[in-house]
Amino acid sequence: MDENLFYLIELAQDGDEDAMLNIIDTFSPKINKYVYTYGSDEDLRSELVLHIIEIVRKIELENFHIKEHPAAVSYFNKAIDRRAWKYAKQKGTARKKVTLYDNADLNYLVGEDAEASSAFDEILLESLMRDKLTEKEYQCLHFLLINGLSQADIARMFGISRQSLNETVKRALRKLGDALDRL
């Protein structure tokens, strides 16, 4: 996407339908991932698209500490993650991310195909992160490892010092390490 997400949000809040569609298209791969993960649930797709529209209409851009494209993308990604997780929990499919594969699929995933094995590892790690970490620890690691933001940017987004963020990241990584050792 060439245009800054903040600019598109401003246009969409002023009634520009093309800007709203552009924002939805930007996050359609993430929406598709969740729809596929939770069993091709088209209700989930509708729920996530409506949630994006709701966010665009209600978001107050002046509340962002960082007025850059990655900060807005991270905000939307986090909101989509939360809504998908909440929806899956309500439907009773929240654990489906981990139990998605039958034995034949597991044999394929842990076999010679490194990309598929990596996908399985990501699913397992995401599940561990959701189960073992506080929301703040999860968000910090997600922004750092998944979204690739710097610790300085994440600290500014949360309004905390880099030292405090570093302590949170270390604590979260220690918790994940302990959980992995118990597997």
- Nearest-angstrom CA–CA distance, 137 and 169: 7
| Residues spanned by the domain of 33 | 1-97
Q: Specify whether 92 is located in the same domain as 47.
A: yes
Compute the C-alpha angle 52/22/147, nearest 5°. Answer: 65
Could you tell me the pLDDT band of residue 158, with boundaries at 50, 70 and 90? confident
Per DSSP, the residues of 49-89 read HHHHHHHHHH--GGG-S--SHHHHHHHHHHHHHHHHHHHHH
Single pTM value for the model? 0.50
What are φ and ψ of residue 16, in 5° steps? Answer: -75, 105
Residue 150 CA to its chain's centroid (Å): 17
Backbone angles phi, psi at 38, to 5 degrees: -100, 30
168 domain-assigned: yes
- Residue 158's domain is classified under what CATH number? 1.10.10.10
Q: Does residue 91 sit within a domain?
A: yes
pLDDT in tens, 85-102: 788 778 766 543 333 333
Residues 53-73: pLDDT tens digits? 998 888 877 766 656 667 777
Q: How far apart are CA 129 and CA 118, in angstroms?
A: 16
**What CATH code is carried by the domain that includes residue 76?**
1.10.1740
